[in-house]
Amino acid sequence: MYYIKEVFRGVKVKLYPTKEQIEYFELCVKARNFAYNWGLEIWEKHYEETKTNIGMYSLNNMFNKYRKLEENKWLYLVCSKVCSLTFKDLENAYHKFFKGLKNKPTLKTDRSKKSFPVRLDNITITDKYIKISKKKYLKYKNNSDILSKGYFSGNTKNTKLSNGRITYDGINWYFSMNVKISIKDNFNLNNEILGIDFGMKNYMVLSNGKVYNYILNDERIIKEKKNIVKLYRKLSNKHKINGYKKTKDMIRLEKLINTKYKRIKNIKNTYCL
């Protein structure tokens, strides 16, 4: 038996940007944080005065006038959609806050996650490159089953895309988006009865004798966590000597720690019971 349904599938690919493109990404992150903090301040003032929400469209119209000031001319170096889509993120954050799903939005700082939204109405995707807004083609690693199976290719005007975003995890840059596709669900039923027992020692034990362990008990994760503790100890000793001034050795240790955390995350994502 099978049935066809339309679902949104997430696509996340690794980018290989040039130095010029990395500088542009850093500028986009700065513009996104600037617009988010500015919109947050305006939203709070408007709500205190009127007890109503201002909305993303009003914020965007006000911001278009605000960035014409001499000290804000640098915002014209990035795509205007970065700021307008940031106000959409802010509006969604407030809607989730009023529904009790999330905490109240806070200011973005240098320690916040480096990411910025991307417009998807004029994106072009080929086998090896992605073209986003004004910048040249971005080289990427095609490790997505959606891209490899050819659900869409080339200009994507007829494909439903949403939530385009470029993020930085401390090591690499990634591009992600949601794609609406039609899939065929196949399922076969049999007369076998299976009992499942969830325990404290083991993740679960089946009635047919199969035992599944907890992912945190995996030897690879335990080993990486021990390495992270050692690296943090070295980094702490460096901080005691140099204070808050970062040296090349301290930056190297921070990158190693991020690499270890990324490896643990990849093990969890690809863990098979």
**pLDDT for the residue 68:** 87
Could you give the CA distance from residue 52 to residue 98 in angstroms, rounded to a whole number? 12
**pLDDT for the residue 226:** 94
Q: pLDDT tens-digit profile of 55-106?
A: 888 998 999 888 888 888 899 888 888 999 999 999 999 999 988 888 999 9
CB 231 within 8 A of CB 253: yes
Could you give the CA distance from residue 233 to residue 134 in angstroms, rounded to a whole number? 44
Could you give the CA distance from residue 207 to residue 182 in angstroms, rounded to a whole number? 36
Q: pLDDT tens-digit profile of 127-172?
A: 788 887 766 788 888 776 666 555 554 445 556 788 889 999 888 8
**pLDDT for the residue 26:** 92
List b or e across 77-109, with b for residues whose CB sees 16 or more CB atoms inside 10 angstroms. Answer: ebbbbbbbbbbebbbebbeeeeeeeeeebeebe
CA 16, 19, 22, 28: dihedral to nearest 10 degrees? -140
Strand order in the sheet with 211-212: 196-197, 204-206, 211-212
Supply the DSSP symbol for 121: T
Q: From residue 111, give the alpha-carbon distance in Å to each of 107, 143, 172.
A: 11, 29, 16
Give the lowest-confidence range in 43-57, 102-116, 168-182, 184-198. 184-198
Q: Which residues pair with 211 in a beta bridge?
A: 205
Give the lowest-confidence range in 39-48, 139-148, 163-172, 233-242. 139-148
Could you give the CA distance from residue 211 to residue 26 in angstroms, rounded to a whole number? 47
- Count CA atoms closer than 13 A to 224's CA, side-chain side: 19
Q: pLDDT tens-digit profile of 5-17?
A: 777 888 888 899 9
Is the predicted pLDDT of residue 1 greater than 70, yes or no? no
CB 176 within 8 A of CB 12: yes
The average confidence (pLDDT) of the chain is: 84
Residue 245: band (very low, low, confident or very high) from pLDDT cuts 50, 70, 90: confident
Tokens linked to 24: 């542009």
Is the predicted pLDDT of residue 227 greater than 80, yes or no? yes
Q: pLDDT tens-digit profile of 188-220?
A: 777 778 888 887 778 888 888 888 878 877 888
